[in-house]
Amino acid sequence: MAEIIDGKAISLAIKEECRDKVEKENLKRCLAVVLVGDDPASAVYVGNKKKACEFCGVKSVSHELPAATTEEELLNLVAELNMDDSINGILVQLPLPSHIDEDKVIRAISPDKDVDGFHPENVGKLSIGQPGFLSCTPAGIIQLLKRSNVDMDGKNCVIIGRSNIVGKPMALLMLRENATVTVCHSHTKDLKEICKRADILIVAIGKPKMIDASYVKDGAVVIDVGIHRQENGKLCGDVDFDTVEPVASMITPVPGGVGPMTIAMLMKNVVDGIANDKNMPYVAI
Ligand code: GUN
């Protein structure tokens, strides 16, 4: 029987800490949220981000643009938001319509307002140990582990997935916690054997229930980043929870595990800003 890591409770605690900090220090924080097009999932995410701002006492300004918006129009808006001193965080919801170059838009956001932690400058800073904004989902996973008292030092951590948003920054953050890190992906040979050696297994492959108990060492900590809608309408992760839970020592559920942490860490990025605390050389940890 595994202990369930309660991402809902931990994310609420982080949002409450953000709210208390805003109130105590009378902080004036404002997040600009940009949504292009009418992707229903993106609209839900953006709605949840705006609600989290309200909860934390952070102002949000919303720019909802039609799908036909040109790249130039979007870049102009980003430039305006960069120059606007009343705005300290800019979030452009991804994915963007296919006629817009996402990398170009991410590069256009000022690294000082890049609360998603996607700008190459912030990614580069993370990789060489300098202060900067961290990508929210992997930073949230570190918080889940720390607040559940999981010791990462010297542990074998296996990450499945090498995306720019989750897998790669996750590997860098786990290295920073002194874990021994292995990153697996679609070309990895002997995936099962490698996963079986993991003390901490982080799964971000995007395939429903792919990781069953045969991939998991007895007593491992299992973090499931996936989220999928099944035919019966229920949500599931990349991990087959029912078979893995009896083998693991700790596991995140879907929903209510990693998912809520992404928005909590976004709020932490917006509220903390970068390197405002000399004792905390990275935001959000
Ligand atoms: N789309 C899916 N996840 C994210 C995220 O964390 N940030 C942004 N901007 N877009 C996303």
Q: What is the pLDDT of residues 191-219, one digit of tens each?
A: 999 999 999 999 999 999 999 999 999 99
pLDDT of residue 88: 92
Please determine, for residue 276, whether its predicted confidence score (pLDDT) is greater than 50. Answer: no
- Which residue's CA is minimally distant from atom 3 of ligand 1? 94
pLDDT at position 274 over 70: no
Residue nearest to atom 4 of ligand 1 (CA): 94
Whether the CB of 94 sits within 6 Å of ligand 1 = yes
> pTM of this prediction?
0.95
Average pLDDT (227-247) is 97
Q: Pick the atom of ligand 1 nearest to 135's CA.
A: 6
Ligand 1 centroid to Cα of residue 93, in Å, is 5
Query: Does residue 136 line the site of ligand 1, with CB under 6 A?
Result: yes
Ligand 1 centroid distance, CA of 3 (Å): 29
Q: What is the pLDDT of residues 42-85, one digit of tens each?
A: 999 999 999 999 999 999 999 999 999 999 999 999 999 999 99
Specify the pLDDT at position 131.
85
Q: How far is CA 272 from CA 74, 86, 132, 141, 201, in A?
A: 27, 16, 11, 18, 29
Q: Relative to the CA of 136, which ligand 1 atom is closest?
A: 6
Instruction: Return the pLDDT at 273.
Output: 85
Atom 2 of ligand 1: nearest residue by CA position: 94
Q: Is 93 a catalytic residue?
A: yes
Instruction: Tell me what the mean pLDDT of segment 228-254 comes to.
Output: 97
Inform me whether the pLDDT recorded for 283 exceeds 80: no
Pocket probe mutation, ligand 1, options 78, 94, 115, 123, max atoms within 8 Å of Cβ: 94
The answer to whether the CB of 88 is under 6 A from ligand 1 is no
8 A C-beta contact, residue 165 and residue 139: no
The pLDDT of residue 280: 43
What's the pLDDT at 160? Answer: 98
Min mean pLDDT across 15-24, 100-109, 265-274 is at 265-274
Residue 156 burial by Cβ neighbours in a 10 Å radius (0-12, 13-18, 19+)? middle
Q: How far is the CA of 137 from the centre of ligand 1 (A)?
A: 9
Name the residue of 49, 165, 261, 270 whose CB sits within 8 Å of the most ligand 1 atoms, as the mutation to test its pocket: 165
What pLDDT is stored for residue 238 in this prediction? 98
Average pLDDT rounded to a whole number, residues 214-226: 98
Identify the active-site residue in 6, 15, 114, 116. 116
Average per-residue pLDDT for the chain: 95
d(CA 52, CA 212): 34
Q: Whose CA is nearest to atom 9 of ligand 1?
A: 93
Residue-wise pLDDT tens digits, 127-164: 998 889 999 999 999 999 999 999 999 999 999 999 99
pLDDT at position 117: 95
Instruction: Report the Cα–Cα distance between both ends of the chain, in Å, rounded.
Output: 29
Instruction: Answer whether 249's CB lies under 8 Å from 221's CB.
Output: yes
Catalytic residue (one of 6, 15, 93, 143): 93
